[in-house]
């Protein structure tokens, strides 16, 4: 019995294929401009190595920003529920999930079944998201994937305000013009993002243990800053970008079994 979980994000789309509760296929790729086309290409590519097509799936559940535009999905589930379900299945002892995506960040409180007790979300401003880091990397002429490691090299982080992405970008450009070391600017950016995220998540009363998901979880500098501000070690899944798709696949498995 093959089922699929599809997580269509604003920047990246993710897919997980389960067969009898085991992951047999996964894929992360850029979403692009047209969500319907992106979801079709995503499912084709993840199924191709398995010798399958979308018609061979017993069920498919879509989540994320573009979930309503996935034509082959039988059901849509919010990303909040999917992150809770995915983390709850992999790490039953986790009680708080911090998801750092391309265009938003979330704090989710879950119980021992992965059901959502409470959540908070920043989806009105890019500050505290992957998009913010991307803008800062461009301003600094540094590769986005290098930002986290560079942040760890600093001994004297700069103070960066991130109430607004445009103002923060101007501040970064100004600091570069003043000859401030890039590693110190990058460290300051990571500190500011971590502070903003932790401030938001405290609104739902953080409970240990804590897991970090989303593309932001791949940034070691951001993870370390979050740990400092949380006063606790955090759990980072092996593939943090795939947690929403994994949760969606678990919901798809339920759907198939209840047919």
- Measured CA to CA, the distance from residue 244 to residue 214 in angstroms comes to 8
The 3-state DSSP class for residue 119 equals strand
Q: Reply yes or no on whether the pLDDT at 26 is more than 90.
A: yes
CA of 71: how far to CAs of 60, 66, 198, 242, in Å? 10, 11, 36, 20
The pLDDT assigned to 124 comes to 67
The average confidence (pLDDT) of the chain is 93
- Tell me the angle at which helices 165-177 and 130-140 cross, rounded to the nearest 10 degrees: 30
Q: Are 2-81+242-257 and 94-236 equal in CATH topology?
A: yes
Instruction: Please report which confidence band the pLDDT of residue 85 belongs to, taking 50, 70 and 90 as the band edges.
Output: very high
Q: Reply yes or no on whether the pLDDT at 178 is more than 90.
A: yes
| Domain 94-236 is found in CATH 3.20.20.70 | no
Bigger pLDDT: 91 or 166? 91
Q: Reply yes or no on whether the pLDDT at 54 is more than 70.
A: yes
The Cβ-side half-sphere exposure at 120, using a 13 Å CA radius, reads 14
Tens digits of residue pLDDT in 221-252: 999 999 999 999 999 999 999 999 999 999 99
The pLDDT assigned to 232 comes to 94
Nearest partner of 168 among 147, 146, 138, 124, judged by Cα: 138
- Measured CA to CA, the distance from residue 78 to residue 42 in angstroms comes to 19
CATH number at 2-81+242-257:
3.30.420.40
- Measured CA to CA, the distance from residue 258 to residue 248 in angstroms comes to 15
Q: Reply yes or no on whether the pLDDT at 18 is more than 70.
A: yes
Neighbours of 182 (CB within 10 A): 17
Tens digits of residue pLDDT in 89-143: 999 999 999 999 888 899 999 998 899 999 999 866 767 788 889 999 999 999 9
Q: Reply yes or no on whether the pLDDT at 211 is more than 90.
A: yes
DSSP E strand stretches across the chain: 2-8, 12-19, 22-30, 59-63, 75-76, 96-100, 105-110, 116-122, 210-213, 234-235
CB 2 within 8 A of CB 18: yes
The helix (run of H) or strand (run of E) holding residue 172 is helix 165-177
Per-domain residue ranges of the chain: 2-81+242-257, 94-236
Bigger pLDDT: 189 or 167? 189
């Amino acid at each position: 019995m093959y089922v699929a979980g599809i997580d269509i994000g604003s920047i990246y789309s993710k897919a997980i294929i389960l067969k009898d509760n085991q992951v047999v296929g996964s894929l992360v790729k850029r979403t692009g401009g047209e969500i319907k086309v992106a979801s079709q290409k995503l499912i084709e590519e993840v199924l191709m190595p398995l010798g399958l097509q979308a018609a061979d799936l017993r069920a498919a559940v879509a989540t994320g920003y573009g979930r309503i535009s996935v034509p082959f999905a039988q059901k849509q589930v919010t990303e909040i529920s999917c992150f809770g379900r995915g983390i709850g299945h992999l790490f039953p002892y986790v009680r708080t999930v911090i998801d750092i995506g391309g265009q938003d960040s979330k704090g989710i409180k879950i119980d021992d079944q992965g059901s959502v007790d409470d959540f908070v979300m920043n989806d009105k401003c890019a500050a505290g998201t992957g998009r913010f880091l991307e803008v800062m990397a461009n301003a600094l002429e540094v590769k986005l994937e290098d930002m986290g490691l560079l942040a760890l090299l600093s001994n004297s982080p700069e103070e960066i305000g991130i109430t607004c992405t445009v103002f923060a970008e101007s501040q970064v450009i100004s600091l570069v013009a003043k000859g401030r070391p890039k590693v110190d600017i990058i460290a300051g950016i990571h500190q500011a993002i971590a502070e903003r995220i932790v401030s938001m998540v405290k609104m739902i009363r953080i409970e240990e243990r804590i897991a970090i998901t989303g593309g932001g979880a791949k940034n070691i500098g951001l993870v370390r800053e979050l740990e400092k501000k949380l006063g606790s070690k955090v759990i980072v899944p092996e593939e943090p970008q795939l947690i929403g798709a994994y949760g969606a696949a678990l919901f798809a498995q339920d759907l198939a079994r209840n047919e």
